[in-house]
Structures are given as C-alpha cells and as structure tokens.
Structure 1
Amino acid sequence: GADAAPKPSSASMERQRSTELPALDSFPLKHSNTLTNRQRGNEVSALPATLDTLSIHQLAAQGELSQLKEHLRRGENLVNKPDERGFTPLIWAAAFGEIETVRHLLEWGADPHALAKERESALSLASMGGYTDIVVMLLERNVDINIYDWNGGTPLLYAVRGNHVKCVEALLARGADLTTEADSGYTPLDLALAPGFFCGDTRKAIQQVIENHILRLFQKRELE
C-alpha cells in the first residue's frame, strides 16, 4: 500500500509549506520555541505598562496568566471570544506552547472544540509546534483527533511535517488516521516516506514510530 501511494517531491513540499501554515509569524510576540513563563519561573514577562495594551489573545499567547485572569473577569464571554481571524485565547495559547495557560483556560471554560475562520484548531496548532503535553491535554477533552483545516491538513500531518516524533507517537497511540488526504493529495504516511523531506535521525525515528504503529494494527486485526 505504501509503495503505491503518491510521493511528493521535496520541491513541491516546500511550495506547500509556504501556503499551508497559518500566519503565526506575523504575531508580534515571542517565537513558539522559547520557554514559557512557568518554565522560566515567572508569572509576568512584560512590563506592566506594556501588558495593559495587550488583548486577551496576546496575553494568552504570551502566557501572562495574572493579566489574562483580570481580563476574563470583565466579561463572561471573553474566554471564548474570537479575534479577527477567529482565534480564541485557547487557540493562541496552544499555538505558542503555553501549557499552563492552556490548562487554566480549559478550567475557566474555554472550548477546546472551537475552530477559527479557516478551521484552525488548538489541537492542530499544538501538533504543528510539537507541544505533546498540550496535544494530550486537548485529546483528554475529546476533541476530534482527525480535525482538518482549510487545506485538509490534520494534526498528525502537521506533527509529521514538523518532525515532532513524540507528538506523532501520541497522536497515533490515540487513533489518529495515517491515511487522511490533504487537499494536496498526500497523507501523513506519504509525507513520512517522501524522499528528501526528512534527514538523518529524525526521519528514521518518525518512520520507526509509524512502522511500529502499523505493525500493532496488523497484530490487533489478526487477534480479532
């Protein structure tokens, strides 16, 4: 089955990269691979005067829990308020890997099933960033593990493309579909096997996780 699947070229994959990713780079805050406030041991990472100018969405992305809590007290519906792109505070926090903010937002009633205007979800963006703990936390809230966005991309596809081995492993262990096609025509399995897309140990690790998953599926079927 894998041999018959379409194998996109590395050049076409690069073109897909430039059009498929949500425009998180335009967000004027720290990059998603920096430490969260809790990891740094801080509750606040910006000057108070600066914090006063940030929206609830920016505060969520920054992990500013104290200020975010103050904002949410001002209105009952703010916890799920979408911004101009349809992103809720939870979606922003998940996209930037702010695990404690995600945890608190869920406790405060944030909707883990919410979708933005182009069907971006907290689960997909957490998978894209490789934030495995957040992915597991969201899955425990029974979100759709195979949710697709505007171009058919799923959480598993984004985790594979981002070389996030632990995230791929967690998604597969909880039933993510390897064969769901994006609008471009390729699946997470195609992407993992595409020549030239990964290199070195990461490629081997991703492929090994997928091979082990497929083997377990076959063994389970035989037992049934």
Structure 2
Amino acid sequence: MTLIRKIKQSIKKGSKENFKNQLNQFLEKGNGINQYFQNGKTLLIMATESGHLGIVNILLQQNADVNLLNTKTGQSPIIIAIKLKKMQIIELFLSKNPNLEIIDKHSNTALTLSIENKLIDVIPKLMKKNININCHLKTGDTPLSMAIKKGLFKIVKLFLQKVNPKEKINGYSYLSIAVEYNQPEIVEHFLSLDLNPNQPNDDGTFPLLIGCLAQSYESIAALLQSGADANQIEKENGWFPLFVSVMKSNNKITKLLIEHDADIQKKTSDGSTLLHLAVKNGKLKLIQLLINGGINVNIQNSDGITPLFLAVLNNRTEIVKFLLANQANANIRTKDKLLPIDLPTNPTIKELLSDKINNQNLENNFNNQSNIFDQNDQENVNITQTMKIKNDDQKNNQIDTKKQLRLLVINNKQLTTDLKKLKRIEMGLELLIQQQNTQINILSKNLKNK
C-alpha cells in the first residue's frame, strides 16, 4: 500500500498517531503540507471532510493553509466545516483568521451556510470578523432575508443593527418577507421599528395581501393589531385581503378580517364578489360565514349574475337550499334576462326554484327570451305562448289538451329550425326547447290518462 493511501485511510479513520507518523514521512520526502491530490483536495480539506478534530489540528500545527479550496467545489475548509456542522473545527478555523468572503461554486459563503444550517452561535462570531452582511446573493437573497425565512429571530435582530429595516430586496420589503414566511415574532419586531404596515411593494402588493396569499394567520393578526388596512386594494388586479382569503377558502382568516372591519360587499375591478367566489368553490361554511357577516345574498357581479344563479349553474344543491333559506331571490335576472330556473340542472334544484317562482315569472321569462333573439339576430322568432301553467287538476278543467299539444309541437319544430339559424344564441334556444319538451311530456301523459 502506498504512503498516500495509508495517509488517506488514517484521515478517514481518525487515527491520530498513525497519521502523525505518516505525515512526517510524507514531508521528509519533500512533499508540501498544502499539496493538492488528484481528487482536487489538500490534506486539510480531506481531514475537514472526515470531521476529525485531532487530525485537523495536526495539519494546522504544520501551517496548513485554511484558505485553499477544493478545486471541484470551490469550498474552503471552514465552509466545509460549517456545512457539516462541526462546531469545534469551525472554532479552530476561526482562530486562524480565514477568508470568510469566499464563495463556492454553489454561491455559498461561510455566513450563508451558517444561516442555512441555523448555526446561531457561529453567526455572531463571523460578524465579529467584519463579514459583509449587506451582500446580495445569486439566489436574490441577502443574509437578512435568509435569516427571516429561517425564523432566526435572534440573528435578525443582530443583522438589523447594520441593515436598514426599510430597505427592499427585489422590490419587496423585509416586512413582507417575514409575513410571507409567517414569522409573527419577526413581524412584530419590524412593526415595533415604526414601519408602515400598509407600505406597498414595487409590484403593488402589500404585507396584508401577501399574508392572505400565504395564509399566514399569526402574521396577519399581528399586522391588523398594528393598524393594517383590511380594505387596502392591490391596484393592478383589484385584489384585496378578504377577496384573497375567500379565494383560498380560509375561514379562519376570513373571520379575522371581517372582525377588523373588512368590507364584505367589496368587489374586485372585474366585478367579482366574495359570495360568488365562495359559491363557485362550493364552500358552504364560507358562504355561511359571509352571510352571517352581513353580505348581500342577492349581490350581482358585472354580468348581473347572483350567487343563486351561480349555484344553480354549478349544480350545487345544498348551497341552493341554503341561499334560498337565507332570502335569495330566485326572480333576479342576469343582464341576458335569464333566471336561475332557466338553467339545466337536477330535479331537486328545479323543484326548489319552482316553489319560488310564480306563473307570471315563467311566462315573462319565455317572452323575454324571445325578445332577446329578435334583438341579437334581427330576425323574428314568432313564438306564441298561450298556455297558462297550472296544477294538474286545473289543466284537466281549463285547458284544451289536444290543441295545446299541437301548438307545442308546432312551436318545437319552429324552434328547431330557428336553432340552425341562431348559432350565436344556441344556449337560449336550448332552454326554450327544454321547457316545451317538458310541457309536451306532461300533456302527453294527460292524454294517455284520458
């Protein structure tokens, strides 16, 4: 076995006496203590990687250079020791005044690796060596932003002795970063430094909105306690905290915002409303929370659609029941003059809606839809609706069933022909056909019974 191989084995095993003897032989042959080997490492680098303090100490006594790098990784001995969390070896290297500004091939420094590994006892010692804590890393981070993300409160306070808390990193305030990573203790500390909790970032977002996006409940509570505006709006998209909390279906944060006077009637710039969003996502508990908070159950979006209409459109039976039980108006039309009952849906929802709509509503709905076709296509779709909707007993006594059936068949054929011409309003015609087919079935049954 060659001497070099024996030395490597002694380093790996931590055999101090064998290593000392082998090192003497190595040096007596004219080799240098800082010689590089084929693996791109010096003896000190290999000893540091092994984590054996005794062997590292022997090499330092022989004046091994603490700043020579692993040629493959660019790492210095102290970076390696920090990466491996070898505290005694780190202390030993610090006593030799190493270069702490070395950046390895992965953009790590002694300081950033100490933060990454949460070595809170090492960082103050690095700072005593006048290490640069205002540097911007290739990752976009600074030492302070890294410490915030890791929740190192003690280190954050230490860094803030040399860093302006009002500074921004990549357009974001340090306060926003603390909120995003839900570090309430750090958030409270920043707020104690008289920072404006409503100060927007360069992209128009602000701490409270970021907290809602990240669902950082504790940090949101700290912001609101310090006077953050629960109704602040992000200008580009028109988003506001309560909208985001509902979008995220977070009942706890939504309740907290409402308790701090968030406006539940507010709409986004595109006309979206909180209740519509909750209905669309099918979140019944969130809907209950909003209604209990006083939101208008019949609020309409920019298309005139009510939450009830949207619930029917998405076939959400339980939500339809709840909305109707809480004064939802089934007679409100959209801008296209449609009612919730016009939508194809399941029989249970149809029955629920039918109970809320009188005969005149149905007749008007039929006529209004016919008018829409005339206006949009400038064609006359002459559909005569002569039948009055009554219960089965009334139909038997007051309606000439055979005539009505013939009329409905004719109308149905007319609608089928018109459907080919009116492609742009296909949905409306399908709704009419569906209504008439239903009436045909009812009247057909009556004929059979007779």
**TM-score normalised by the shorter chain: which range applies?**
0.5 to 0.7
The aligned counterpart of 1:168 is 254
Of residues 177, 201, 204, the one that matches 2:284 is 204
Q: CA 1:145–1:167 in 2, change beyond 3 Å: closer, same or farther?
A: same
Secondary structure, counterpart of 1:146 in structure 2: coil
Alpha-carbon distance in structure 2 between the residues aligned to 1:110 and 1:55: 20
TM-score by length of 2: 0.34
Paired residue for 1:99?
184
Query: How far apart, CA to CA, are the structure 2 residues paired with 1:207 and 1:57?
Result: 38
Distance between the aligned counterparts of 2:233 and 2:184, measured in 1? 22
- SS of the aligned residue for 1:97 comes to coil
Shift in Å, 1:142:
1.7
* Matched letter for residue 46 of structure 1: N
Using the TM superposition, give the Cα deviation of residue 124 of structure 1 relative to its aligned residue in structure 2, in angstroms.
0.8
Residue of structure 1 aligned with 2:211, choices 102, 119, 126 = 126
> What's the RMSD between the two structures over aligned residues?
2.6
How far apart, in 2, do the equivalents of 1:62 and 1:114 lie?
23
Counterpart-to-counterpart distance in 2, 1:110 and 1:46 = 29
Q: Which moved more, 1:146-155 or 1:183-192?
A: 183-192
Which one-letter code corresponds to 1:81 in the other structure? E
Alpha-carbon separation, structure 2, partners of 1:56 and 1:45: 12
Match runs of 1:81-160 below 5 Å: 81-85=167-171, 87-149=172-234, 150-160=236-246
2:150 & 2:238 partners in 1: Cα distance?
28
Instruction: Choose which of 137, 152, 156 in structure 2 pairs with 1:68.
Output: 156
Kept in 2: contact 1:45–1:64 (CA 8 A)? no
Residues 1:65 and 1:82: Cα distance change in structure 2 (over 3 Å): same
Q: CA deviation at 1:153?
A: 0.4
The SS at the match of 1:79 is coil
Shift of 1:115: 0.7
Q: Could you list the runs of 5+ residues in structure 1 that have no partner in the other structure?
A: 1-43, 216-224
* Shift, 1:212, TM fit: 0.9
- 1:134-156 CA-to-partner distances (Å, cap 9, x unmatched) read 22221122221111112110000
1:147–1:213: structure 2 CA closer, same or farther, 3 Å change rule?
Answer: same
Question: Structure 1, residues 12-45: CA drift from partner, whole Å, max 9, x if none?
Answer: xxxxxxxxxxxxxxxxxxxxxxxxxxxxxxxx76
Contact 1:129 1:159 in 2 (8 A): no
- Out of 260, 269, 293, which is 1:183 matched to? 269
CA distance in 2, matches of 1:113, 1:168: 19
Equivalent in the alignment of 2:278: 192
SS at match of 1:214: coil
